[in-house]
Structure 1
Amino acid sequence: MRKVFISVALAVLVSGCSEFPGVYKIDIPQGNVVTQEMIDQLRPGMTESQVRYIMGTPLITDTFSPNRWDYLYSFKPGGEPRVQERVSLYFTDGKLSRLTGDFRPGS
C-alpha cells in the first residue's frame, strides 16, 4: 500500500513540473505563412492560378463553397499564447473578387 501511495505522490509531483525553470519550449508554426507583401500583390480579376502562384495552395478548400479559399496561420511561441491569422479569398467565375480576414490590401 505504501508503494502505491509513493507512486501516486511522485506522479502528482512530476506532472506539476510543466513550468519547471530551464525547460526549453519549442515554437510551433502551423499553416500557410501569409505576409502583407503577398496580400498587396493580389488584384481583383486575377485567375485562380495567378493567386495560387502568389499565395500558395490554400490550407482549406471548403467543399460546400468551392469559390472560397482559406489561408490560416497559427504560431505558438514556446511558453506564450498562440497567435493566429486568417485570410479568406473569394472567387467569382474563376476570378478573384474579394478577400476578408486579418490583412487589408494596400494601395
Structure 2
Amino acid sequence: MLSNLPFVYKMTVQQGNIITEPMVNQVQLGMNREQVRYLLGTPLLTDMFHTNRWDYIYTIRRGHQPMESKRLTLWFEEDQLVSIEGFAQPDPAAALAALEQETVVVEVPDWRDDRGIISRTLNAVGVETAE
C-alpha cells in the first residue's frame, strides 16, 4: 500500500482528552464530580450502566509511528472521588511545587504623561479634554 511508504506524509492525529500529569496532580480523593470536571474536563466515556466510572482516553498517532495511548479511570461513590487508575497518580507535593513556581510578580511602571501638546495646553488653561 502506498501510504506505508516512508516518503508519504501522514498527518498527526489526536483523539480524546489531553490529560497531563500536572493536571492529575491537582486531583484529590474526596473531590466531587464538578471539581474533577473543572480540573480534567468532561470525560470522553461515561457508561450509563456504570455511572460511578469516568474514563479519560487520549490517543495520538504521529506520522508513521505506532499509536500512543493514555488512559485514566476515575471511580466515584456518592459523588466523591474514591479511586484513580491509569497512566498517572496524583502527587500533591508536585502540585504544590508547580503552584509556587507559577507565582509571578509583575512590575508596573509609574504613569507618565503621554498626552499630546494640545491636550496638555488646553488642560493647563482649564479646558477638559476627552481622552
- Superposition TM-score, scaled by structure 2 size: 0.67
What amino acid maps onto 2:12 in structure 1? D
8 A contact 2:14–2:60 mirrored in 1: yes
Runs ≥4 in structure 1, deviation > 6 angstroms? Answer: none
Instruction: Give unpaired runs (5+ residues) of structure 2.
Output: 93-131
Checking the alignment, whether the CA contact within 8 Å between 2:2 and 2:8 is kept in structure 1 is: no
Corresponding position of 1:73: 58
Deviations 1:25-78 (A, max 9, x none): 100000000100111000111111000000000000011110010000000001
Q: Name 2:9's counterpart in structure 1.
A: 24
**Structure of greater Rg:** 2
Alignment partner, residue 115 of structure 2: none
Once the two structures are superposed, residues 73-99 of structure 1 have per-residue CA deviations (whole angstroms, 9 ceiling, x without a partner) of 000001110000000001111011110
In the comparison of the two structures, how many residue pairs are matched? 92
Aligned to 1:43: 28
Whether 1:97 and 2:82 are equivalent positions in the alignment is yes
3-state DSSP of counterpart to 2:9: coil
Which runs of no fewer than 5 residues in structure 1 stay unpaired? 1-15
Q: Secondary structure in 2 aligned to 1:37?
A: helix
Q: Name the aligned partner's letter for residue 77 of structure 2.
A: T
CA RMSD of aligned residues (A): 1.1
Secondary structure of the corresponding residue to residue 51 of structure 2: coil
Cα distance in 2 for partners of 1:77, 1:21 equals 13
Correspondence for 1:7: none
Give TM-score scaled by structure 1 length.
Answer: 0.81
Change (3 A) 1:89 1:23: same
Distance in 2 (CA, whole Å) between partners of 1:18 and 1:48 is 43
Whether the 8 Å CA contact 2:59–2:68 is kept in 1: the answer is yes
Bigger RCO of structures 1 and 2 (CA < 8 A, at least 6 apart):
1
- The answer to whether the 8 Å contact 2:6/2:64 transfers is no
TM-fit CA distance, 1:21: 4.7
